[in-house]
Amino acid sequence: MTKYLLAALAALMLCVGMAAAQDSPLQTLMQEHRALIEKASRKTIEPAIAALRDSGLPEAQTVLEKWQAKELWQRKEDGLFFFAEKLDGSAYQLIDIAGGGSVGEAEKSDLKQLKPNSGVRSLIGAALVQFQLLSPDRRKRVEALDAIQRDPAPEHLEALAGAIEEEPDAEIRARKERLVQLLTISFSDDETKRIEAINAFAGDTGVDARAALNPLLATTREAVAGDIPDGVNVANTLKPGQEEFSKEAAYDLLVTKDLAPRRISTADKRAALEANIVDGRVGGVPLAQLNTDGARERAYANLAEAGVVPPTATEAEVQAALDTHSFYDRYAEASIAVTDAARATLTSINTRVGLNQAADLTLDALSLASIYFLAAIGLAITFGVMGVINMAHGEFIMMGAYTGYVVQQVIPDYTVSILVALPLAFAVTFAAGVAMERLVIRWLYNRPLETLLATFGISIALQQLAKNIFGTQARPLTSPSWLDGALVFNDVVSISYIRIAIFVLALIFLGVFLFIMRRTRLGLEVRAVTQNPAMAASMGINPDRINMLTFGLGSGIAGIAGVAIGLYAKVTSELGSDYIVQSFMTVVVGGVGNIWGTLLGATMIGFLQKGIEWMNPSNTLAAQTYMIIFIIIFIQFRPRGIIALKGRAAGD
């Protein structure tokens, strides 16, 4: 019984709610523009947003904000708009958009969530500017500034200028002032103010500054009969036949401007010939002979003579047309003073930007070098010091990365998990390295080529094992939030924190390596065993133990490198094989047996690759190809690497 009562009550409430919803002026206004709002498109939505913005209704701002945040819903049966809150199951609580509170419940299947696309959202954002610029909420003011920056409009200039005085927050105030300057450049009517604003940006590397200045210097290519008319802001005059403006291009320009007749293309000619086949002949030329260009010319000329087809424009006619016209690039901006100022400012900016780009490229190259170094440092120990070719080195890197992934599955906190993963990855790969050294490699000392094959076997077995265990999909390895983002110097120079972390890690390993090799007993023994195992053994050093530990150390470092590489790129079973050839080349180029050589090798490869990428930005693959070719040639001239060991340390 109570169930029915409740249902009746709910139905009653629904009716009341409906009535209220239908009554509110806001709902009425929205219903007027219902069609536009339902099928929101950036191209058509403007009137609906403007109506809401200019309605003067107090709730309009909330509606716009909710709509922007995809929190506006529509009931399918009557098309009314609501806010909604999720209840248990699939039911939603409907809330009146005009602030009337709850107006009943509805099933999800009866509702439609409005999902404006980001183009529409940015228009809503622009409309919200007037409400938000002076909002007490700091976040909303920032949002408003973002919206202006994305879609600058002339009407924002005044509103923004008026909002500077009352701005309490220094940072936002500075941003507002900068935005006003930028808007002045684009939209102000006052020429002196614009030029002032333009000059203020001299040497500024911000993308926004260039984004405001460059459109002033946008040009269109024009062609006119006779001389260039007065009062046009000419960027430069062009002569047909000069560099980058061929006579063909000039004539084509005339054709597109309807100042000259179209030339007849070979396809047109062919079509014309085809249309005029008479008794197996075209213009008197037999069809079978028309398989050369000369014969076709002849046939066409015959047809033209007979007046069947239009004659082709001769060279002389083309030249005459070019001679009687002027060609020039015209600035869209009418004021010469403004374009001059903009050009001067941009020149100063571009010099600055060029320098900064060089700095950015250097940072990129350093970062790449540190990644190569990190991947290669373990190899510098196993290959460089011990002379063991370990083709499974890449798979140790992969094991480290997977260790990181597994740890993150167990420990959800990213910071803690990374701190746990680093030593654990070291332990895992250290153990794997020791096991491999004991079981396989120690039987093959002095047989480096066999080691290569055996470790290659281990490499493909490990790769397949990883696939069997973790599947073929890439696994997520997420960096802690304090490594998110980038260290931004300005709009041109920036480097992500994760790359800085890798750089620091590489430096730390360099230090650790140097410390172990130069300052510890282990290092001394390693050097002794490497140079002369028999002599070292007779001095009381156990070469077996030393080899085992050294190999474990090299493998362990590969594991840590794996965690770092997994953080910045991806964790897949093929992670290791991506780095193995590069790593070997790093060590070989640098000079085997010398950590400084590996460092130099990594630096050289990193800078080289970035340098080639910079010269040919649209093809990264080419950069890698040429880098490898360069390395091959380099090794021809320095077969022992950049830093070649000399004397006894060289072994042979």
Partner 1 sequence: MSRSFFARNPSVLIFIAVLALFTLAVTMASEAAGSGALSTSFVKTLGKTLCLCLVALAMDLVWGYTGILSLGHMAFFGLGGYMIGMWLMYARTESIVAASMSNAAIPPTDQEIVDAIGTQIFGVVGSSEFPPVWAFADSLWMQLALVVLVPGALALAFGWLAFRSRVTGVYLSILTQAMTLALALYLFQNDSGLRGNNGLSGLQNIPGLTGVPQADVSLWFFWASAFALGAGYLLCAWVVSGKFGSVIRGIRDDEARVRFLGYSVEGYKLFVFTFTAVIAGIAGALYYPQAGIINPAEIAPIASIYLAVWVAIGGRGRLYGAVIGAAIVSLLSTMFTGGQVPNLPLGFYTIHWVDWWQVLLGLSFVLVTLFAPKGIGGLFDLVTGRRSPERHGADLGPDSGSFQEKEAEE
Partner 2 sequence: MPNDRENNIMKLRMTSALVGALAFATTAMAQDDTIKVGVLHSLSGTMAISETTLKDTMLMLIEEQNAKGGVLGKQLEAVVVDPASDWPLFAEKARELLTVEEVDVMFGCWTSVSRKSVLPVIEELNGLLFYPVQYEGEESSKNVFYTGAAPNQQAIPATDYFLDELGVEKFALLGTDYVYPRTTNNILEAYLMDKGIAEEDIFVNYTPFGHSDWSKIVSDVVALGADGKKVGVISTINGDANIGFYKELAAQGVSADDIPVVAFSVGEEELSGLDTSNLVGHLAAWNYFQSAESDANAAFIEAWKAKMGDERVTNDPMEAHFIGFNMWVNAVEAAGTTDVDAVSAAMIGQEYPNLTGSTATMLPNHHLTKPVLIGEILEDGQFDIISETDPVPGDAWTDFLPESAVLKSDWAELGCGMYNTETETCVQMKSNY
Q: Considering all CA atoms of the chain, what is the largest pairwise distance in Å, rounded to the nearest integer?
A: 108
When the beta carbons of 291 and 538 are compared against partner 1, the nearer one is 291
Residues between 574 and 633 with contacts to partner 2, criterion CB under 8 A = 574, 578, 610, 613-614, 617-621, 624
| Partner touching 390 among partner 2, partner 1, none, CB below 5 to 8 Å by kind | none
Which one of the spans 11-19, 250-258, 314-322, 466-474 is the region binding partner 2 (CB under 8 A)? Answer: 466-474
Of 467, 516, 544, 640, the residue at the interface with partner 2 (CB under 8 A) is 467
Which of the choices partner 1, partner 2, none does residue 342 contact, using the CB cut-off of 5 to 8 A by kind?
none
> Which ranges of 110-169 does DSSP label H, i.e. alpha helix?
118-132, 138-150, 154-162
Least distance in angstroms from the C-beta of 454 to partner 1: 4
Calpha distance 394→400 (Å, rounded): 10
Chain-centre distance for alpha carbon 395: 29
Out of partner 2, partner 1, none, what residue 456 binds, judged by CB under 5 to 8 A for its kind, is partner 1
- Rounded Cα distance, 519 and 504, in Å: 21
386 binds, among partner 1, partner 2, none (CB under 5 to 8 A by kind): none
Closer to partner 2 by Cβ: residue 165 or 244: 244
Q: Indicate whether 115 belongs to the interface with partner 2 (CB under 8 A).
A: yes
Q: Is 60 exposed, middle or buried (0-12, 13-18, 19+ CB in 10 A)?
A: buried
DSSP secondary structure letter of residue 244 = T
Per-residue interface string for the shown chain with partner 2, residues 470-509, x marking contact by CB under 8 A: -xxxxxx-x-----xxx-x--xx-xxxxxx----------
Q: What CA–CA distances, in Å, run from 254 to 223, 236, 259, 265?
A: 7, 18, 5, 16
Binding span for partner 2 by CB under 8 A among 86-94, 228-236, 315-323, 564-572:
564-572
# chain residues binding partner 2, by CB under 8 A: 67
CA distance 597 to 287: 73
Least Å from the CB of residue 582 to partner 1: 9
| Residue 97 site contact among partner 1, partner 2, none (CB < 5 to 8 Å, cut-off depends on kind) | none
CB nearer to partner 2: pick between 141 and 610: 610
Q: Is 121 in the site for partner 2 (CB under 8 A)?
A: yes
Please state the closest distance from residue 210 (CB atom) to partner 2, in A. 4
339, 232 Cβ separation under 8 angstroms: no
Query: Which tokens is 354 given?
Result: 């060029």
Sheet containing 234-238: which strands, arranged edge to edge? 219-225, 325-331, 234-238
Tell me which residue of 84, 96, 76 sits closest to 28, measured CA to CA: 96
Minimum Å gap between C-beta 42 and partner 1 is 31
Q: Which residue has the tokens 């990855």?
A: 425
**Cβ proximity to partner 2, 143 vs 437, nearer residue:** 143
Minimum CB distance to partner 2 smaller for 263 or for 640: 263
C-beta of 469 vs 504, nearer to partner 1: 469
Contact flag: residue 175 with partner 2 (CB under 8 A): no
| Two structure tokens written together for 130 | 């007037």
* Residue 32's binding partner out of partner 1, partner 2, none, with CB under 5 to 8 Å set by partner kind: none
Q: How far is the CB of 635 from partner 1 (least distance, A)?
A: 6
* Closest by CA position to 81, among listed 56, 48, 50, 54: 48
> Contact residues for partner 1 (CB under 8 A)?
270, 273-274, 277, 282, 287-288, 290-293, 296, 389, 391, 440, 443-444, 446-450, 452-454, 456-465, 467-468, 577, 581, 584-585, 588, 619, 621-622, 624-625, 628-629, 631-633, 635-637, 639
Residue 449 partner contact from partner 1, partner 2, none using kind-dependent CB cut-offs of 5 to 8 Å: partner 1
Name which of partner 1, partner 2, none residue 196 binds, using a CB cut-off of 5 to 8 Å depending on partner kind: none
**Phi, psi for 292 (deg, rounded to 5):** -130, 155
494 contacts: CB under 8 Å, gap ≥ 6: 360, 486, 487, 488
Phi, psi at 121, each rounded to 5°: -60, -35
Tokens 């010469």 belong to residue: 336
Partner in contact with 645, chosen from partner 1, partner 2, none, beta carbon below 5 to 8 Å by kind = none
Segments of 133-259 assigned E as strands: 219-225, 234-238
Binding of partner 2 by 218 (CB under 8 A):
yes
Handedness of CA 392, 398, 404, 405 (dihedral sign): negative
Q: List strand residue ranges (DSSP E) for 407-503, in order.
A: 486-488, 494-496
Q: What are phi and psi of 529, to 5 degrees?
A: -65, -40
Q: Which of 545, 609, 576 is nearest to 376 (CA)?
A: 576
Planar angle of CA 608, 611, 612, nearest 5 degrees: 90
Query: CA-to-CA distance for 148 and 152, rounded, in angstroms?
Result: 5
In sequence order, the 6+-apart residues with CB closer than 8 A to the CB of 202 are: 344, 345, 348, 349
Q: Which of 19, 50, 211, 277 binds partner 2 (CB under 8 A)?
A: 211
Name the residue nearer to partner 1 (CB basis): 19 or 469: 469
Least Å distance between CB 364 and partner 2? 5
Q: With binding defined as CB under 8 A, does residue 351 bind partner 2?
A: no
CB under 5 to 8 A by kind: which of partner 1, partner 2, none does 443 bind?
A: partner 1
Q: Is 638 in the site for partner 2 (CB under 8 A)?
A: no
Handedness of CA 46, 47, 52, 55 (dihedral sign): positive
Q: Is 178 in the site for partner 2 (CB under 8 A)?
A: no
**By CB under 8 A, what part of segment 59-88 binds partner 2?**
70
Helix axes 46-54, 118-132, angle to 10 degrees: 20
116 in contact with partner 2 (CB under 8 A):
yes
Measured distance CA(366)–CA(146) in Å, rounded: 33
Taking CB under 8 A as the criterion, the residue among 445, 470, 489, 568 binding partner 2 is: 568
**Alpha-carbon span 488 to 497, nearest angstrom:** 10
70 binds, among partner 1, partner 2, none (CB under 5 to 8 A by kind): partner 2
Q: Which residues bind partner 2 (CB under 8 A)?
A: 41-43, 70, 115-122, 146, 150, 207, 210-215, 218, 353, 357, 360-361, 364, 367-368, 371, 464, 467, 471-476, 478, 484-486, 488, 491-492, 494-499, 568-572, 574, 578, 610, 613-614, 617-621, 624
